[in-house]
Amino acid sequence: MARAHNFFAGPAVLPLSVLEETRDAIMDFAGNGVSIMEISHRDKAFDKVVAEAQADTLAIMGLSADEYSVIFLGGGASLQFAMVPLNFLHKKADYVNTGAWASKAIKEAKLIGEVAEVASSKATNFNQLPKNIKYSGDADYVHITTNNTIFGTQWKSDPDVGNVPLIADMSSDMLSMKRDFKKYNLIYAGAQKNLGPAGVAIVIIKKAWMEAKAKQSISTILQYKTHVDAGSMYNTPPCVSVFVVGKTLKWIIKEGGLEAVQARNQKKAKIIYDIFDAYPEFYKGSVVNKEDRSLMNVTWNLPTPELEEKFIAEAKAKKMLGLKGHRSVGGMRASIYNACPMESVELLAKHMEEFYKANK
């Protein structure tokens, strides 16, 4: 089967080798004669899947298992919007509003306690990241969204929030670049954009902080400690999704880790952004500051909606899928996650050049 060029924002492109390993495990997992969809999550063979995924996550991020725990949960990042404040919002939390998902996280936190929206780029339709942010300094935590899938902005560096615990939703750029992960007390990510299929969220949490600050007066299943203590086995985890995440983590390691992955992601993004810069009146990038441009989600408009429809139709005829922008903003979007091949980006760039020459 010929593979299409996949630019969907999520669920999104996965490494071909991971798809092939998953296909095989669907029929026969670990030589047991049963599918990964059928085997008990209590079986030793699946225990190994979880343990290796946890260890590989920490190894890639340069974190110690003595300091951090990795857990796999259902409910996606949307559940984390609620779990974070349920566990850690005692008096007040600082949130930086950089897009739709940050806005949803803020909405959930406000149901729990006081939220200080310390910075927002909503006034300019989230086309840039806020600058010169002044954090409260006495908040229970600071929450950021590192990559904004809909609007195409991304934090390239980790914010300095002083001694306040830092929490990040990294759903759409998780393990796409080197970061100082030790700065974070909690990181969460829905897998379906850069790590695996829909159905599982990965959470990395600093143990000592959890033990000292997490509430114990909330529902058992909503406590992070419950899942840490149970090794992600408090209830039946999304086994197939965890398996795929585990294989994707091994693919990242085989590719050379975050340094190699980041270099390739930067090269892919530059190919498209260079076209924006060459034809700015035709390819109108959504993000106003170059330093804020996402390496994962490239967003733009053409001079008219009719040209945008024509561009997408002609790209689809060349087996380039998923280029239509999010329904809330329109335009176009190319999601070029870790597993998006260089040849897909090069084909998109060629299409952009040809389309410009034919329609300028």
- What's phi and psi for 19, nearest 5 deg? -60, -40
Contact between 149 and 296 under an 8 Å Cβ cutoff? The reply is yes
Digit-coded pLDDT (tens) for 99-152: 999 999 999 999 999 999 999 999 999 999 999 999 999 999 999 999 999 999
Q: Which of 94, 193, 206, 251 is catalytic?
A: 193
Q: What is the DSSP string of 224-247?
A: HHHHHHTTT-SS---HHHHHHHHH
Q: Which of 56, 94, 169, 173 is catalytic?
A: 169
Spatial separation of the C-alpha atoms in residues 268 and 261, rounded to whole Å:
11
Enter the DSSP assignment of 293: B
Signed CA dihedral, 184, 189, 194, 200: sign only? positive
Cα 155 to chain centroid distance, Å, stands at: 12
* Preceding peptide of 237 cis, ω within 30°: no
SS3 content of the chain, % helix, strand, coil (to 5): 40, 15, 40
Query: Mind listing the domains of the chain with CATH numbers?
Result: 28-255 (3.40.640.10), 257-359 (3.90.1150.10)
Contact between 241 and 199 under an 8 Å Cβ cutoff? The reply is yes
Enter the DSSP assignment of 63: -
Name the CA dihedral angle for 31, 34, 37, 38, rounded to a multiple of 10 degrees: -140
143 residue type, one letter = H
Spatial separation of the C-alpha atoms in residues 315 and 351, rounded to whole Å:
7
Confirm whether 251 is a catalytic residue: no
Digit-coded pLDDT (tens) for 44-83: 999 999 999 999 999 999 999 999 999 999 999 999 999 9
Digit-coded pLDDT (tens) for 13-39: 999 999 999 999 999 999 999 999 999
Residue with tokens 């939390």: 93
Q: What is the pLDDT of residue 2?
A: 85
Confirm whether 169 is a catalytic residue: yes
Name the strand (E) or helix (H) holding 45: helix 44-61
- What's phi and psi for 312, nearest 5 deg? -65, -40
pTM reported for the whole predicted model: 0.97
Q: Which of 56, 94, 101, 206 is catalytic?
A: 101
Q: Count of alpha carbons within 13 Å of 73, Cβ hemisphere only? A: 28
Digit-coded pLDDT (tens) for 173-214: 999 999 999 999 999 999 999 999 999 999 999 999 999 999
What is the average pLDDT value for the chain, to the nearest integer? 97
Nearest residue to 275 via CA among 262, 285, 263 = 285
Q: What is the pLDDT of residue 328?
A: 82
Three-class SS of residue 30?
coil
For strands 186-190 and 166-169, give the pairing: parallel
Q: From edge to edge, which strands make up the β-sheet containing 284-285?
A: 284-285, 297-301, 332-335
Confirm whether 316 is a catalytic residue: no
